Amino acid sequence: MIKTIPIFFSLLVMLCAVSASEPPLGMWAWKQAHFDTAQARSEMLDFCKQEGISHIDQHVSIHGGVIKNADALKCLIAQAAQRGITVNALRGDKAMFLANNYERTLNAIKALVAFNRTLPEEAKLLGIKFDVEPYLTAQWKAGGEQRDRVILEYLNCLTRARAYLKIHSPGLELAVDVPFWWDKDEYTVNFEGNIKHFVHHIQDCVDWLGIMSYRREAGKIIRLVEDEIAYASKQELARSIAPSMETSNIQGKDAHISFGGVPSEQFRLALANLRATYEDNPNVRCIMLHHYGSLHTYLMGD
C-alpha cells in the first residue's frame, strides 16, 4: 500500500494538469432575477460550481445612467469572486451601436466604470460585454449602403468605447458577442484605411469575442470559429476567442443549432470534445454556454 500512494498521487497530479490546460467554461445570464436575491445568487453560483463554470456574463439593466439593483450586483460580484468566478456586465440591444444611440451606450459604459470604482480590488468586474445583433435592424435588412453604414457605425461605437475605457478604466475588459458568419467575403469593409473582414476589425477593437457558433456537433462548431482563431493567432491576440454552445429549446427549422431537445449526454460529449480540441490553445478564452436559464433546465431536468 505504501508503494502505491506515490503512484496514485502522480496520476492525480497528471489528471489535474490535463484538466487545468483545457479552456474554462463561461455562461450568459440574462435575467435580473438571477442575482437580485441572496437565494437566487446562491443557486446560480452553486450551479456554476457543480458544472465547472468560472465566468458569468450577467446582463445589467441601466436606465438614465442608473444601474438597477446595483447593491445586488455588487453582492453577486463579491460572492462570485470568493468562488473564483469572474463576472462581466452584459449589455444587449440590436440598435445599441447605431450612431443615434452612441450617447446612450457611452453613458451606460460610464455608469459601469463608476460602479466598478466602488468595488474592492479583490472583487471587481472583469469587463463589459456587448451582445449587439445589428442584422435584426431594418437598416441592415435593407442591404447595400444602409447595411454598410450600420457596419461602420458598429465599428465606430466600439472604437469610442475602447478609447474611453483605455483612459478611464484600462483594467476593465471590452468584449462582444458576434455571429459566426461575419468572416465571409461579403462582409469585407474598409475601416480607417484598413480593408478586412468585419469580424477581424472587431477583433482588433476588443479583448475577446464570444462567437455564436451554435451547432449540435463539436466538429461543426470548430469549423465555424476556425477563421477567427487563425486571425487571433496571426495577430497574437491571446485568450480572445470563445466558441459557444446553445441549450435553449428551439423548435422548427432552427432546432439544429441548439442542444435543447437532445439528450444531455450528447451535449456533454460535444463539450468535452471542444475542450480537448482547444487544450493549451493560447487564443481560446473559454467555451461559452447560452444561457443560465435554459442550461439549468436542460441539465437539471426542471
- The grid coordinates listed for 191 are 475601416
> Per the domain annotation, does 254 fall within a domain?
yes
> Per the domain annotation, does 270 fall within a domain?
yes
> Per the domain annotation, does 218 fall within a domain?
yes
Number of domains composing the chain: 1
Q: What is the mean pLDDT of residues 111-121?
A: 98
- Answer yes or no: is pLDDT of 9 > 70: no
Q: What is the CATH number of the domain that holds 210?
A: 3.20.20.80
Percentage above 90 pLDDT, the chain:
92
Residue 148, domain extent: 25-300
pLDDT in tens, 135-187: 999 999 999 999 999 999 999 999 999 999 999 999 999 999 999 999 999 99
- Answer yes or no: is pLDDT of 16 > 50: no
CB atoms within 10 A of CB 37: 13
Asked whether the beta carbons of 255 and 262 are under 8 A apart, the reply is: no
CA pseudo-torsion sign 261, 266, 46, 25:
negative
pLDDT of res. 72: 98
Contacts of 8 (CB under 8 A, 6+ apart): none
> Per the domain annotation, does 137 fall within a domain?
yes
pLDDT in tens, 243-274: 999 999 999 999 999 999 999 999 999 999 99
Whole-number Å distance between alpha carbons of 13 and 16: 5
Confidence class of residue 301 from pLDDT cuts 50, 70 and 90?
confident
> Per the domain annotation, does 144 fall within a domain?
yes
> Per the domain annotation, does 53 fall within a domain?
yes
> Per the domain annotation, does 20 fall within a domain?
no
Confidence class of residue 302 from pLDDT cuts 50, 70 and 90?
low
> Per the domain annotation, does 18 fall within a domain?
no
